[in-house]
Structure formats: structure tokens, C-alpha cells
């Protein structure tokens, strides 16, 4: 196990009707004027936004609103949010929605107190200072409710890039599983896939003797394997949604990733797909992961064989561990397909002729040096082959 620091100071308030505590929590964490940030309207239609406003009113906390965050959130609205917060002297950004809304909120919170262009953070500058952020989560997926990360797409060039810093870890996150019951099945499944991806990206490690995190990841993947189909079969299954929601947080606040190197090649490769085609990030991952795993399997075949046995119940073939490893990858692919996720470019809406463009932006775009690295380092040729495996 490698040395690490783990700092995860978010207060999680979990369960039914917990959104009614929004005002009280903003007050507890020092907010005196709030920006309520939200997406394309699901929180308006469900009545959640009104309940949140009522909770702020009850505590006499003034607020301004900015809706319109798109899935795969864009830089344009972030600039708008920064201007609005400065003009209105906002000191607390409250995200009401999914990962996209939370990430846009984090970008605004970091940008308001920064003199330069907020995009600097998405080109590698660490976020050291930000307004306080709180979240009310409506989809179990990205894990942004407990993570120090934010992913934004710069409209000029359509670069989808991540930034990070403990300053944007939410001060509090309200997790009410019942709020996720209005999700369309496809979004629920995309969320399940993203959560499983966050676990796999940590499982694929070059560190040794990381039994505790290996076992935590396996437990969460087994939970997702059990609860995923239950929630697809019955969208109103509160208990299944509750387990998935907490697994989604655990998968990405890094309690499962400490002390070990991590992969993230699947995420990096997928981000070009959701940037170009505006597909759901989880759906892009469903197509990307089996290809990346198959391509990189030989780097440590026993890691994949271990996942196959412990998670997918495959029988270990000690003479040919690569057979077991492949079976595990196939079982994962079939699972994702069974919950309604796409298996290939066509089902995702991606095009083979775009592969050179995808590889160019992936490996060279926005200052990259021709390769990406994680569990293994992949150059342009490798990435071309991986995208071709998805066709």
C-alpha cells in the first residue's frame, strides 16, 4: 500500500424528505446568500426546486437562481454563473440536480474567487480556493456529491476536461434516494454504469498488497450487480435506490482508492465520446470499458481474472488465466447490456469515421503530449485500436 492523505469533510444527510433541511444546512456551513444552480428542468417539474426554496425562505436566506445546466456541462453557463455570483455577492453555491449541475456549481464556486480564467483549473491548475458548495443530488452516478472533482466542456474546441481540489468538495450533500425515482430507466442505467466504472478504474491498479481497498471495491461492485437489475425492474424500489445511491458516493469519494495507483483510461477515452456526441457519460463508458479492458488485459491478467472470479462468479482456469479474465470482461459487458446500455458505436450513436478526430483531441488536444496514462500508458496508435474495437 502506498502513502496517502485522505480528507473528505462533506456532511452527508441521507434519507427521505431530507431536502427540507437545505436551509438549515446552508446556515450551518456559513452561507448568507445562495446561488441555486440546476439543470434542464427535472427539478422544476418534480417540485423539488420549490421545496428547496421554501427551506431557504424558512431560514431567511436570500438566493438567486441559475438553471439550464446541460448534461456534459458547458463553460458558457459557468462564466454566466461567475458574473451573477459576483454581481449579487453570493457566498454559497447550492447545486440541485445531477453530476452535471454539481460540476458546474463547483466550477462557478472556484471561478468567482479567482482572478484569471476559470478554465486554467481544467488545464491542470489545482483549485485551492472556492465559495462553499452544497448539493441536493437527484441521480446516483457521477459521485460528484462526495468528490473533489469537476468535469466541464469548453465550447470552443469541445474539450471535456476535469479539475480537482479539496476546496470544491461539497460542505454538505443531501441524498434522498426517493428523488431518483423519477429518472428515466436509461439514465438510471447510465448512472449504475458510471458507479461501476469508478470502482473498476480503482480496481485496475499497479500497486500491490491493497487487500482492504480491493475488498471494498468488490463489495460495492457486488452490490451494484445485485441492486442494478432490481431498480431497473422496479423504479420505485426505494431500498435498491438507497443502496445504489450510497454505493455511488462510496465509489468516488476515494475511500476505495487510497494507497493505490488508479487507472482512469476508460474515463479519459470516454470523455471524447460524450464531448463529441453528447451521449450520457455512463452509456459511453458501457461501450468503452470492455474495449479498454480487453486491450490492456495482458498488462496484468491476474487482476482481471481476480475480478472475474470474485465479482462475476467465473471459474478460475489456472493454466489459462487469460480465459477467465476474458470471461469476466464478457460477463460485465452482458450485465451492462442487460440493464439497457449500448454495446457498440452504433448503439451509442458514434461513427467509425470520427475515430481520427477522437484520437487527435484525446491525445493532442488542449496541450496533451500524444499519450494518456493510467493502468498502462496508451499512445495514439493504441487509442485508435481501442476505438476500433468499439465499432
Q: Which residue has the cell 464556486?
A: 109
Closest C-alpha among 304, 286, 195 to residue 241: 195
Supply the DSSP symbol for 74: B
Determine how β-strand 92-97 pairs with β-strand 377-379.
unpaired
Q: Which helix (H) or strand (E) holds 45?
A: helix 42-45
Of 23, 31, 81, 97, the residue at the interface with ligand NZQ (CB under 6 A) is 97
CA 207 to chain centre: 23
Closest C-alpha among 72, 285, 41, 330 to residue 182: 41
The yes or no reply on residue 145 touching Zn ion (CB under 5 A) is no
The strand pairing partners of 161, in sequence order, are 152
The strand pairing partners of 14, in sequence order, are 175
CA 340/CA 88 separation, integer angstroms: 44
> Which of 75/288 has CB closer to Zn ion?
288
The yes or no reply on residue 254 touching ligand NZQ (CB under 6 A) is no
Closest C-alpha among 303, 212, 318 to residue 255: 212
Q: What is the grid cell recorded at 142?
A: 457521477
Of 139, 220, 247, 325, the residue at the interface with ligand NZQ (CB under 6 A) is 139
* Span from 179-187, 311-319, 320-328, 359-367 in contact with ligand NZQ (CB under 6 A): 179-187
How does DSSP assign 110-175, residue by residue? HHHT-SS-GGGGGGT-------EEEEEE-SSSS-TTS-SEEEEEETTTTEEEEEE-GGGS-SEEEE
Give the list of residues 6+ apart from residue 102 with CB closer than 8 angstroms, or none. Answer: 95, 133, 135, 137, 142, 144, 145, 150, 170
Give the list of residues 6+ apart from residue 121 with CB closer than 8 angstroms, or none. Answer: 107, 110, 114, 127, 150, 163, 165
Of 15, 41, 157, 356, the residue at the interface with ligand NZQ (CB under 6 A) is 41
At 315 the three-state DSSP class reads: coil
> Which of 10/72 has CB closer to ligand NZQ?
72
> Which of 183/199 has CB closer to ligand NZQ?
183
Site for ligand NZQ in 292-351 (CB under 6 A): none
Of 143, 177, 228, 328, the residue at the interface with ligand NZQ (CB under 6 A) is 143
For residue 149, the partner it binds in Zn ion, ligand NZQ, none, with Cβ less than 5 to 8 A by kind, is ligand NZQ
> Which of 1/185 has CB closer to ligand NZQ?
185
For residue 72, the partner it binds in ligand NZQ, Zn ion, none, with Cβ less than 5 to 8 A by kind, is ligand NZQ
Closest C-alpha among 136, 138, 116 to residue 127: 116
Of 170, 177, 191, 228, the residue at the interface with ligand NZQ (CB under 6 A) is 191
Of 103, 194, 272, 327, the residue at the interface with Zn ion (CB under 5 A) is 194
> Which of 69/314 has CB closer to ligand NZQ?
69
The yes or no reply on residue 77 touching ligand NZQ (CB under 6 A) is no
* Span from 85-93, 98-106, 119-127, 356-364 in contact with ligand NZQ (CB under 6 A): 98-106
Q: Which helix (H) or strand (E) holds 225?
A: helix 211-233
* Span from 7-15, 81-89, 192-200, 313-321 in contact with Zn ion (CB under 5 A): 192-200
* Span from 121-129, 138-146, 235-243, 365-373 in contact with ligand NZQ (CB under 6 A): 138-146
CB of 44 to ligand NZQ, least distance (A): 8
Site for ligand NZQ in 198-237 (CB under 6 A): none
The yes or no reply on residue 227 touching Zn ion (CB under 5 A) is no
CB of 81 to ligand NZQ, least distance (A): 15
Q: Are 146 and 252 in contact (CB under 8 A)?
A: yes
Q: Which residue is nearest to Zn ion (CB)?
A: 194
Of 18, 75, 135, 138, the residue at the interface with ligand NZQ (CB under 6 A) is 138
> Which of 142/350 has CB closer to Zn ion?
142
> Which of 264/332 has CB closer to ligand NZQ?
264
Contacts with Zn ion by CB under 5 A lie at 194
**What are the residues binding ligand NZQ (CB under 6 A)?**
39-43, 71-72, 97-101, 103, 138-139, 141-144, 147, 149-151, 179-180, 182-183, 187, 191, 194, 252, 267, 281
Amino acid at each position: 500500500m502506498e502513502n496517502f492523505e485522505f480528507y473528505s469533510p462533506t456532511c452527508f444527510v441521507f434519507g427521505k424528505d431530507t431536502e427540507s433541511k437545505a436551509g438549515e444546512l446552508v446556515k450551518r456551513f456559513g452561507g448568507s446568500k445562495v446561488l441555486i444552480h440546476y439543470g434542464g428542468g427535472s427539478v422544476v417539474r418534480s417540485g423539488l426546486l420549490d421545496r428547496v426554496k421554501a427551506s431557504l425562505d424558512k431560514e431567511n436566506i436570500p438566493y438567486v437562481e441559475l438553471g439550464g445546466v446541460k448534461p456534459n456541462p458547458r463553460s458558457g453557463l459557468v462564466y454566466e454563473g461567475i458574473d451573477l455570483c459576483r454581481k449579487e455577492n453570493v457566498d454559497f453555491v447550492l447545486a440541485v440536480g445531477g453530476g452535471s449541475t454539481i460540476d458546474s456549481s463547483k466550477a462557478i464556486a472556484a471561478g468567482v474567487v479567482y482572478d484569471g480564467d476559470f478554465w486554467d483549473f481544467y488545464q491542470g491548475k489545482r483549485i485551492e480556493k472556492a465559495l462553499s458548495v452544497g448539493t441536493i443530488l437527484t441521480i446516483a452516478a457521477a459521485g460528484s456529491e462526495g468528490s473533489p472533482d469537476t468535469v466541464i466542456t469548453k465550447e470552443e474546441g469541445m474539450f471535456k476536461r476535469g479539475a480537482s481540489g479539496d476546496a470544491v468538495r461539497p460542505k454538505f450533500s443531501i441524498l434522498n434516494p426517493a428523488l431518483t425515482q423519477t429518472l428515466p430507466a436509461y439514465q438510471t442505467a447510465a448512472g449504475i454504469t458510471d458507479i461501476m466504472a469508478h470502482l473498476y478504474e480503482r480496481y485496475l491498479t499497479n500497486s500491490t498488497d491493497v487487500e482492504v481497498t480491493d475488498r471494498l471495491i468488490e463489495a460495492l461492485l457486488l452490490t451494484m450487480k445485485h441492486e442494478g437489475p432490481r431498480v431497473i425492474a422496479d423504479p420505485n424500489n426505494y431500498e435498491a435506490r438507497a443502496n445504489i445511491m450510497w454505493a455511488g458516493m462510496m465509489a468516488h469519494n476515494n475511500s476505495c482508492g487510497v494507497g493505490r495507483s488508479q487507472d482512469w483510461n476508460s474515463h479519459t477515452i470516454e470523455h471524447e465520446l460524450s464531448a463529441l456526441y453528447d451521449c450520457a457519460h455512463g452509456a459511453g463508458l458501457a461501450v468503452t470499458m470492455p474495449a479498454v479492458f480487453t486491450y490492456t488485459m495482458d498488462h496484468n491478467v491476474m487482476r482481471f481474472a481476480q475480478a472475474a472470479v470474485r465479482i462475476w462468479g467465473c471459474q478460475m482456469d489456472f493454466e489459462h488465466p487469460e480465459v477467465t479474465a476474458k470471461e469476466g470482461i464478457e460477463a460485465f459487458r452482458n450485465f451492462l447490456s442487460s440493464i439497457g446500455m449500448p454495446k457498440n458505436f452504433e448503439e451509442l450513436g458514434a461513427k467509425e469515421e470520427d475515430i481520427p478526430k477522437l484520437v487527435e483531441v484525446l491525445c493532442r488536444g488542449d496541450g496533451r503530449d500524444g499519450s494518456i496514462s493510467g493502468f498502462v500508458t496508451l499512445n495514439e496508435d493504441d487509442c485508435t485500436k481501442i476505438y476500433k474495437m468499439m465499432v
